[in-house]
Amino acid sequence: LCSGVIGLLLFYEGLKYISFREANIIRTLNPIFVFIFSFPFFPLPLTPKFITGAILIIISIIYMNLYKDKKTSSC
């Protein structure tokens, strides 16, 4: 409860200082950030499938956010 509520409050507070597109990219990259911060405490074997999946997640999130922005600006 606390992490969800505090996370959303910080997200909406951050919208005052950066654009929604940038905040959405940061928010959707949350699983990657969690992995980076938790890796020293809970080491996982980094297999090629795992690394490929992480790269695909990052590329798709950034592409979808940038593509959506170009699509709305051309209308």
Neighbours of 61 (CB within 10 A): 19
pLDDT on residue 73: 57
**Looking at residue 51, what is its pLDDT?**
86
Place of tokens 């956010």: 65
Would you place residue 72 in the very low, low, confident or very high pLDDT band (cuts 50, 70, 90)?
low
Amino acid of residue 48? P
Using CA atoms, how far apart are residues 38 and 16, in angstroms rounded to an integer? 29
Residue with tokens 């798709």: 60
Whether 20 and 26 have beta carbons less than 8 Å apart is answered as no
Q: Summarize pLDDT for 8-60 with one digit per residue, the tens.
A: 888 788 888 888 777 777 777 777 788 888 888 888 788 899 889 888 888 88
